[in-house]
Amino acid sequence: MAASASLMASVPPASCYSGGGGIRDEGLWRSRLNLIIPPPRPSPSCSSLSKFVTSRSRSLRSSSSYRRRLLHDRGSAGLAYHRKKYNTWKWYTSMFDELSTNETLFEQHRCLSCFCSYHRRQTGYSKFTANVFRDKSSFQLLRNTLRGGFQVHVPRAAVGPDEPHAASTAWPDGTLEKQSLDLLDPELERTELERFLGLELPSHPKLYRGQLDNGLRYIILPNKVPPNRFEAHMELHVGSIDEEEDEQGIAHMIEHVAFLGSKKREKLLGTGARSNAYTDFHHTVFHIHSPTCVKDSDDDLLPSVLDALNEIAFHPKFLASRVEKERRAILSELQMMNTIEYRVDCQLLQHLHSENKLSRRFPIGLEEQIRMWDADKIRKFHERWYFPANATLYIVGDIDNISKTVHQIEAVFGQTGVENETPSPPPPSAFGAMASFLVPKLAVGLGGNLSHDRLSASMEQTKLLKRQRHAVRPPVKHNWSMPGNNKNAKPPQIFQHELLQNFSINMFCKIPVNKVRTYGDLRDVLMKRIFLSALHFRINTRYKSSNPPFTSIELDHSDSGREGCTVTTLTVNAEPKNWQSAITVAVQEVRRLKEFGVTKGELARYLDALLKDSEQLAAMIDNVSSVDNLDFIMESDALGHTVMDQRQGHESLVAVARTVSLEEVNSIGAKVLEFISDFGKPSAPLPAAIVSCVPNKVHVDGIGETDFRIMPDEITAAIRAGLEEPIEAEPELEVPKELISPLQLQELKLQQKPSFIPVSPELNATKIYDKETGITQLRLSNKIPVNYKITKNEAKGGVMRLIVGGGRAAEKADSRGAVVVGVRTLSEGGRVGNFSREQVELFCVNHLINCSLESTEEFICMEFRFTLRDNGMRAAFQLLHMVLEHSVWLDDAFDRARQLYLSYYRSIPKSLERSTAHKLMLAMLNGDERFVEPTPQLLHNLTLESVRDAVMSQFVGDNMEVSIVGDFSEEDIEACILDYLGTVGVARDYEIAHEFSPVIFRPFPSDLQFQQVFLKDTDERACAYIAGPAPNRWGFTVEGVDLSESVQNALVDYDKQSISGESLTERKDVEHSLEGRFRSHPLFFAVTMSLLAEIINSRLFTTVRDSLGLTYDVSFELNLFDRLNLGWYVISVTSTPAKVHKAVDACKNVLRGLCSNQIAQRELDRAKRTLLMRHEAEIKSNAYWLGLLAHLQAASVPRKDLSSIKDLTLLYEAATIADIYLGYEQLKIDDNSLYCCVGIAGDESEEEISGAVNLQEESIEGLNDVIPMGRGLSTMTRPTT
């Protein structure tokens, strides 16, 4: 998509086939259903394509999917993920996305969970991807029988996660053996099965649990990924649910003040440590990611990290100055995240948990209360809840000596809390909601006119609280969804707002969490996963070949530790005009599955896929990062599940898989769906809530904007209509074992005669292998260049990316939008050759292939994830061949793609961030329509033929490049390359692939350099974007100037200072070193710009956020292209309407202040450490290597070569302050070049909002009023990922 599309990430990536889960982030989906095996999530450093795809699709998850991450998502560096979500300017770039400034510095703090958000799916754009599994491997399907011997090994361990224990790594003397039961009678067989299913699951053999005398619990897990680093997380079992009526938001306030007020944490600056914190309903977590020792020293950093956590959690200094500073930050944060998406999330939570405090205790708090608290009020809440017995310390990382680590924990925390054994009498209602669970209610409260005896008793109870962990988390009572009379059912709730664009409905069912501790519990989880996988696939394929009435349907069944319940959610998104039909179809499909169940073929497919997935995770046991392991342990403990390692999880899953039958799968799965399929029946569980979110007005063709009306009884009627629709059993589908038969392949090879040719005219070698990097370069006879790297980083797994030069930049003036709509059309159709979309999807399921298709400003990209088992790599190559040679372009797919972009275009005026950025983007790029979403008029002018030609004209031999990284053999990968890429034809006679109109910045002077957007809204918010030109990654400017020559001989003040006093010999030595050659290196601008961005981000935070208190979030981002001769920078800042203009001025001052307030060496050193550590941590990721390989042989990126990979670390180390200033000089920051747009939302009069966006369908000129920009702030809920 276009740059603006990068701004506008709400249109989802085109996920062609996702038999393996798709490229979009499915980690959470799996983690909620796979309750035992911790899924490895995509690396935050994954290739720029997959990173972009993931970030955009995050906003498109269902409300249920987001609820599970509620306020608890963390990026790789905590705050990093928060920054990414604002990074609406980031787009696809090749190699340096991984090293750009998407992550904040160590001292920059944003709590990652102060937002109460479901991160729910935005209404309208997720086009039902199959979403089955991701990153899977193969395992032969086990027959559903107990026959045949099997063994279950049960290591000795204590009883569960609530008790401190250290699981032994030794197996018990005896094992449970299940011999053949052929000769046993059914009753004995049933008894034997019940005995097996009642056995406890094994506990993680390397997980060490302990408890100090003061009650602090600790958990230690050695883990070598990443090497020489560790995670230390201090979890306080207190959150917003523990706040009283006048304390709403105080837990979050303490998190801010304690974290940023810690001097010991500040001392870790410069060591390479990163830290952050977050608060949600049930806990507050402070976390530090640190090296094990100081660089160039053997000094152990763990004691210093523990000391910092001890100060933060138990000994904070509530200085009035820090309280005021964080009060300002939180108030700004509150306005920043108060998007329409956040408000929808709040509505869902309020109705789902209407019976308890979860509906009223959102972590961010209430503005009027936040303004009032003084330091004493905050301190008293801290004294009540922050004590060792109410905390758990997690340490996961490269730790070899458990005994030493335990001793260090005891040394730091052993005396904490002992000195304050007897607390002072608490104030009235001091214990809040938790008190009702732990102490008897007193008629006159817990304070006031208590007699001496009762006061003493109260103090004793308080003393007990100080010593014991609170048992019930969160301390709320739920009304479970139970069968009952329909009269007790809640009517559907409707939330209507002018900023909503599409229709959505959520039906919730709420039940207690079933703790997974036995083989029987695990078996139930497995059967539910099989059942729900079938439903997802059916909906996402059955209606894909037509124009369905919905845009997405999802059914999620997941546990939530922070909410203390299991929630099943049916989420339906649709265009408002189709809402009734969408509900009817969703209910009808749920009924079909409930009544007829899964088929034998579905059971075999999905059980096989789950076992392959599990086996792949087991194979990657030594590649799972410490933070992923830690998050999994923390969530499992919160839910009461037994924690197993990946290998134990796989072995246990294999054992229970043998006992699964079709009848039991359908029986247990049907119970999950009864609240929908039997809606209204006395035997059916009552929905916990039904919530519909709808717009105030909708667009009607030929009429324009009209009022939208919907009533609760109409929603109920639509549900009942789905119950009355006729249904039939699901037919079995024929699944192709291969897309290209051996006979067809033989014919292709005879026709095309594939071979390898010299990689370049200068070299006669047909194969170049670089020993240092392990990279092999090839070129096929059809001119397709290929790069591959063999690595064991991800066992039995691989990734492949096709990059095609051109992208949206190649769109002709009379067909703007053709590439982006064409790529979406190709994805929507999903057919290749004579195979239907359903067959291709099932082919991907069987081979566990993930595939995505994406268009950017410069490229079309197609990415595959595959396993090396069961010919998974060969299957992925077959699919790529078929897409290139036999894609099927369908009219109905084109119609859906066009409708999607039309709907998205109409939603732009309802987003403050998108409309603000749109205005700026058009102004800066002189109205170039390739960098914005296509207008209705442009969409109307497109035809199926025009979009097909626009896409396929770019698929020319030497305009394509394929890179593969994985755990394959040289023989296998080169055979696949020759067989399936070498047989791709090159007969296309297209010449436009390398031609496109140049991009230009608007000439100065212009009255569009400063603009404003006003948006009518019930709540006040403000944001601003400041942007200007920059060179591209390789030093070319929009004027066509090659800066590489000019910088080689350039001298700046720092150069002159550095050479004064040097001898001529010393100077010549430097010139011949890498430092001296740095300025002539192709990566000079990429490296200096990345370092510069880190430095500017640090200064923006320190000045605009911390010192001036004008914002909660401010970031500097660079968008440096590879193929286009330009780039730009963007400063994004959120604020209040009263402060936003001051914030803009402050940002400009920081940007320009590098001239007068020169960069210090410590700033540069810190930036280097940040980028180098990120590189070191991510170099073991296949996806990261895929990004490094991009454009290695691309003719349109001639300066990219192996030195760009080999010298990367040395170049960062060689960069000097003078080099940074040479890069800084290329940013256009003067008044003539800088563009700014401020967006303000509020409840203003019509006259005051006369500048508001008003898109006109009939006129392209309407585009000048607004521009799309990603999901904006709507998905910014704290997180963690």
User: Would you name the residues annotated as active-site residues?
Assistant: 255, 326
Selection from 756, 1038, 736, 684 nearest residue 871 by Cα: 736
Q: What's the one-letter identity of residue 544?
A: K
Q: What's the one-letter identity of residue 202?
A: P
Burial 1126-1137 (b: 16+ CB within 10 A, else e): bbbbbbbbbbbb
Counting every residue, how long is the chain?
A: 1281
Residue 59 corresponds to which tokens in the numbers above? 């906003």
In the block, tokens 């599970």 appear at 68
Q: With helix as H, strand as E and coil as C, how does 134-170 read?
A: CCCCCCCCCCCCCCCCEEECCCCCCCCCCCCCECCCC
The dihedrals phi and psi of 641, each to the nearest 5 degrees, come to -80, 150
User: Could you give the C-alpha distances from 111 to 75, 115, 285, 946, 988, in angstroms and in order?
Assistant: 12, 9, 9, 48, 54
Q: What's the one-letter identity of residue 1206?
A: K
Q: What's the one-letter identity of residue 1082?
A: P
Distance of CA 54 to the CA centre of its chain: 6
Selection from 474, 585, 10 nearest residue 237 by Cα: 474
Residue 2 corresponds to which tokens in the numbers above? 């276009």
In the block, tokens 């056995």 appear at 199
C-alpha count within 13 angstroms, C-beta hemisphere, residue 216: 28
Distance between CA atoms of residues 1237 and 1007, nearest Å: 12
Distance between CA atoms of residues 1217 and 1220, nearest Å: 5
H-helix or E-strand containing 777? strand 775-779
Angle at 275 between CA 270 and CA 276, to 5 degrees: 145
Burial of 1041 (0-12, 13-18, 19+ CB in 10 A): middle
Selection from 1067, 1077, 1026, 1073 nearest residue 1227 by Cα: 1026
Residue 1142 corresponds to which tokens in the numbers above? 């001051």
The DSSP secondary-structure symbol of 1105 reads: I
Handedness of CA 1056, 1062, 1063, 1064 (dihedral sign): negative
Helix (H, G, I), strand (E, B) or coil at 19: coil
Burial of 658 (0-12, 13-18, 19+ CB in 10 A): middle
H-helix or E-strand containing 785? strand 785-790
Distance between CA atoms of residues 1212 and 1169, nearest Å: 9
Cβ contact 1117:803 at 8 Å: no
Distance between CA atoms of residues 127 and 826, nearest Å: 13
Selection from 621, 415, 656 nearest residue 529 by Cα: 656
Distance between CA atoms of residues 795 and 40, nearest Å: 12
Q: Which residues contact 1249 (CB under 8 A, 6 or more apart)?
A: 1014, 1015, 1016
Helix (H, G, I), strand (E, B) or coil at 742: helix
Distance between CA atoms of residues 90 and 4, nearest Å: 10
Selection from 772, 569, 420 nearest residue 29 by Cα: 569
C-alpha count within 13 angstroms, C-beta hemisphere, residue 976: 24
Q: How many CB atoms lie within 10 A of CB 367?
A: 15
